[in-house]
Amino acid sequence: MPGIILQRPRFAGQPPRVHTALRVVILAAGGSRRLGRPKQFVRIGADSLLRRAARVALALRPAAVLVVTGAHAARAAAELRGLPVTVVSHRGWRTGQAGSLRAGLGRTPRVAGAVLVFAVDQWQLTVADLERLLRARRRGRPAAALHDGAPGVPTLWPRAFWPRLRALKGDRGARELLRGADVVTVALPHAAADLDTPAALVRLRRTWLRGAGSL
């Protein structure tokens, strides 16, 4: 398996344009109960998952990157120091992912045309993966990664869907909305790799050792 891409892609001639209508929201507020340690600070190579996710998002050149923190908020803010991101501290993180999503949307201005949402523990996602999702967008329709047989995060949500996202409650993510929407799906196998359990952490380390030579 190839190494994980962290750097910005290279372009000939002019630098890539800034996506002025795009905001990226990284969900990084959870307490990692099943893993037994804060997943945000698990390290792969020189980076924590949190810092890596922020760097991948920034490489897209969106108008803003918002990182929603909750558990271990002070440590997370310190981990992100020096990166041009907005840290959104969500005190109600224990209520579940829906609240974290609302917190991120609450800091997204109405002038934004779309918000790209992904989770901090999707450790195999690359800049190229997210760029594929952006290229697949269609006016007024969500674009979502297809993995494990269903659409899910990362997801690009146009502004028309934001009121429905804000209406989500508890630990319900946005998959229910995706099931009932006209979604553009993009096959992104990397999106299926997350970090929820000790067994998943073992797989992460083995994969990193095979692909990049160190952890």
pLDDT at 25: 97
Tokens of 117: 């949402």
Query: Residue ranges per domain, the chain?
Result: 19-169+182-212
CA distance 167 to 159: 14
CB 174 within 8 A of CB 99: no
Tokens of 17: 């344009």
| 3-class secondary structure, 86 | strand
pLDDT at 211: 61
Backbone angles phi, psi at 103, to 5 degrees: -60, -40
pLDDT at 48: 94
pLDDT at 44: 84
pLDDT at 22: 94
Q: Which CATH number fits domain 19-169+182-212: 3.40.50.300, 2.40.50.140, 3.90.320.10, 3.90.550.10?
A: 3.90.550.10
Q: What is the mean pLDDT of each run of 10 residues along the chain (215 residues)?
A: 34 55 93 82 90 96 95 94 95 85 88 92 94 90 90 93 86 76 92 88 80 41
Residue 14 is classified by DSSP as: S
Tokens of 47: 């980076």
CA distance 23 to 112: 7
Peptide bond into 154 cis (omega under 30): yes
pLDDT at 205: 84
pLDDT at 203: 87
pLDDT at 63: 94
pLDDT at 34: 78
**159-194 residue pLDDT tens:** 999 999 988 877 666 777 888 788 999 999 999 998
| 3-class secondary structure, 195 | coil
Q: What is the pTM assigned to this prediction?
A: 0.86
pLDDT at 76: 94
Report residue 51 CA to chain centroid gap. 12
